[in-house]
Amino acid sequence: MYVVNESNANGPTVAALNISESSAAAFSPDGLKALISGQDSNHHPTLYVYSTLQALQVIPLAANTAVNSIAFSTNGAFAYVVEPSLGGGNPAISVFNTCDNQLFTDTLTGLA
């Protein structure tokens, strides 16, 4: 997987990422962060957080999870990860806080 930045007038920069079998990706509205679904070296489903400001972050997903779409909220506060199969089970949408890349947890119910 490669991320290409063409904003530099003198030439694009290319970041090579060791992400295999990527299935979905999206950039935040400000362009500073991207979420990419793929698999780790052991073929486990993984969500990667790419940023030009931080090192590549790895978020393990439940075994047998498939991701087919990623989108950001308009203000960039949340990332929505659409899973047709969450852990081999039913479809789901996982919501991640973009400030810390953690699953959103409802403060009233404690549920993700």
Q: Answer left, alpha or beta for residue 21, where phi above 0 means left and psi between -120 and 50 means alpha.
A: left
| Contact predicate 82/93, CB 8 Å | yes
Kindly state the tokens that stand for 90.
């039913």
Q: Tens-of-pLDDT digits for all 112 residues of the chain?
A: 888 888 777 888 888 888 888 889 999 999 899 999 999 989 999 999 999 888 899 999 999 999 999 999 999 999 999 999 888 888 999 999 999 998 887 777 666 6
pLDDT value of residue 58: 94
User: What is the pTM for the complete model shown?
Assistant: 0.85
Kindly state the tokens that stand for 85.
């199969």
pLDDT value of residue 86: 87
* CA separation for the pair 58, 75 (Å, rounded): 23
Residue indicated by tokens 């199969």 = 85
| Contact predicate 79/70, CB 8 Å | yes
Query: Cα 58 from chain centroid?
Result: 9
| Contact predicate 67/61, CB 8 Å | yes
Query: Cα 62 from chain centroid?
Result: 14
pLDDT value of residue 112: 66
